[in-house]
Structure 1
Amino acid sequence: MNPRLLVPRPVRELPADLAAVVALTLLADVAAVAPVVSETPIRVLLGLAFVLFVPGYAVVAALFPERGGEKADGGGISGVERVALSIGTSVAVVPLLALVLNFTPFGIRLVPILVVLSVVTLAAAAVAARRRRRLPPDERLVVPYRRWWGAIGDGVLRADTRTDRVLNVVLVVSVLVAMSGVTYAFVTPNDSEQFSEFYLLTETRDGKLVADDYATNLTRGERGTVVVGLENHEHERTTYTVVVKLQRLEGGGNDTTVVGERRIDRFEVTLEHNGTARRNVTYAPREPGRYRAVFLLYRGEPPQDPSIDNAYLETHLWLNVTR
């Protein structure tokens, strides 16, 4: 049995250029997220090719499925025009998709960008393959790679005058440098986006977690429970330590002072990038008065005397305990 027959027919019959589009898309996705490959220059090289050219080429192939320069009605486009349009379309499509993502809960992050770009590219490639199959064989686009490369060289390096040649080269280099910067920003995690989320939730009667209705008014001996939430967006595997203290307070306003405290919980959590953890913490003040339940987050081991001043992140609840 021919192993090639195991591949679905639409994929098996893809033209060579569209098959290359699919292959580059999948390779770029793997190179961007694979643990070993993502730390090598392969990620940047594939990312450049993917963002600079591949989405635009797929869209242009869907819009112009016919071969250019040979049809009497002039409906096709030449190879140089197709390459230029592919780069220009990628320049337009990638920032536009990023702008749309910015207004969604996903935000401009590596994985959402990869997913959206890949879906758009593969969908455009599927449309291009379908439209190309509907044309007569002699009108379908067949990519003449060598002729394209020669035409690009003629257009850039063999212009009429030396000034035109220099300007063409400067233009090409400028476009590549500009798009390289954009591509690097998309395929490389931004240090300014490294952060952790630390928050408190409560569970409603129907089991939903909400950031409201905390147990802050208690009677002596009554217990309060809160859900401590933690999310890792540090772009690396991170071990966190959470220290929970119950502080007894006196005074009010700017004159509030801590007259006593005790640690009521401590736990460690190790999360991968984009990992989430939640844990219930219970507090029960022993005597009436004003208290503050302080939740301190540290990356790694905390100091000997954990406090609000030396915590990586901190949140707290004000408690009022009556008889």
Structure 2
Amino acid sequence: MSLAYATEMRVHQWTGDLLTVLLFSGLAAGGILSGISITPVRVALALPLVLLVPGYAFISSLFPEAPDDDGTGFGTLERLVLSIALSLALVAMIAYVANFTPYGITLLPITVGVVAWTVLFSLLGLLRRARLPGEKRYRPTAGAHLGGLTGLFTVQSRRPGETRGAFEPESGRHVLLNGFLVFSVLVLLVGGAYMAVAAPSLPNEEPHTEFYLLSENGEGELTSTDLPTDLSAGETAPITVAIENHEGERVTYTTVVYQQQVTLSDDGRTVESVDGSEELDRFETTVDADETDQVAYEAGPTADGDVYVWFLLYHGDVPDDPSPENADETTRLTFAD
């Protein structure tokens, strides 16, 4: 065997696991984001991506070295167990961050975040291993999984001062703890498999309608922060009534414009009394499923003083006495004297 060939084999030994993680991450991202619907393939892609590879890459970057001869350090079994626990925490963290992006907690940002994390720390792990002497670099060893697993449930005699492995039991109590650990990992794997299979078939969200008011700001953009509040009786200002239909079917909505003359507390936050109310207008809007309709409207109070102008949305028939209490959705403008 030539020196070059031997060197190539050694490189494959300490880089193979992380190169496999990188390759799998790319394949999983492509398969998941392309919307693949074949259940076994979806499970095979989603489970490792969520439950193993982000944690494994992170552990590899933190601990690039192989265990010492006395068992100090993380071997294959320890890395796998820690990888599963860390992966769950990391995916939860990525989902939390995704909540603050324009996409929200959806498939795209979570998949991209998990893959980006995995790629970054896999490359960092390879770099840190490369800087170690060859004999100190971690490399997966054949048979380590089964041998390490049986070692979780076997109490080995050790001389005083001898080092034990990270999960090597010292007593029957430690064997029970290791059994609980293995059981917990199996539960996580089964739960992850169920979600990988069932989650895509579950509805993305409960049927609902979003109802809100918008107005133009100084740049001509529609926003909910510049709604009119200082109009007098008889004055109006242009607003936009927005209806987002997430009911799963086409819906004809009725919007009732309803005015209340109120007495507010000194801080303007509490209604002390309702002094009069009347219906000002109503109109219908038909919105297709998963579509948004925006209706231009001139809004304003017809009385002086503290006035609420309510926009009451009904999905079906409007009751004889429409009010904020019986509407399906409500929003309002407040005009304070």
TM-score by length of 2: 0.62
Which residue of 83, 86, 94 corresponds with 1:86? Answer: 83
**For the residues of structure 1 that align with 2:227 and 2:276, how far apart are their CA atoms?**
24
Q: Shift in Å at residue 269 of structure 1?
A: 4.6
How well do the aligned residues superpose, as a CA RMSD in angstroms?
4.8
Question: Who is 2:184 aligned against?
Answer: 174
CA contact (8 A) 1:101 1:108 kept: yes
**1:125-158 Cα deviation digits (max 9, x unpaired):** 12123333445666544433x3222323332455
Aligned to 1:132: 129
**Whole-angstrom CA distance in 2 between matches of 1:124 and 1:196:** 42
> Contact 1:157–1:169 at 8 Å: present in 2 too?
yes
Q: 1:36 to 1:281 in 2, by over 3 A?
A: farther
Match of 1:317 in 2: 333
Measured in 1, the distance between the counterparts of 2:239 and 2:15 equals 58
C-alpha spacing 1:284/1:192, structure 2 compared with 1 (3 Å) = closer
Partner of 2:160: none
Unaligned runs of 5+ in 1: 1-13
Residue 217 (1) aligns with residue 231 (2): yes
Tell me, yes or no, if the aligned pair for 1:248 and 1:289 is still in contact at 8 Å: no
Q: Give the 3 Å change call, closer, same or farther, for CA 22–76 of structure 1 in structure 2.
A: same
Q: Identity over aligned residues, as a percent?
A: 29
Tell me which of 271, 274, 277 is aligned to 2:290.
271
Query: Deviations 1:233-258 (Å, cap 9, x if unpaired)?
Result: x6x96656553333466898435343
How big is the shift at 1:54? 1.4
Q: What amino acid is the match of 1:279? A: Q
Alpha-carbon contact 1:240-1:297 (below 8 Å) kept:
no
For residues 135-150 of structure 1, the aligned pairs below 5 Å read 135=132, 140-144=137-141, 146-150=142-146
Provide the residue aligned with 2:59 in structure 1: 60
Change (3 A) 1:107 1:282: closer
Shift of 1:172: 0.4
Q: Within the alignment, does 1:202 sit opposite 2:198 as a pair?
A: no
Give me the whole-angstrom Cα distance separating, in 1, the residues matched to 2:36 and 2:286: 31
C-alpha contact 1:59 1:124 (8 A) present in aligned 2: yes
Q: Give the counterpart letter for 2:183 in structure 1.
A: V
Matches within 5 A, 1:29-178: 29=29, 35=35, 37=37, 40=39, 43=42, 46-69=45-68, 77-97=74-94, 104=100, 109-111=105-107, 112-135=109-132, 140-144=137-141, 146-156=142-152, 168-177=178-187
Gaps of 5+ in 2: 1-13, 157-168, 264-272
Aligned counterparts of 1:31 and 1:240: Cα–Cα separation in 2: 35
Gap change, CA 1:284 and 1:123, over 3 Å in 2: closer
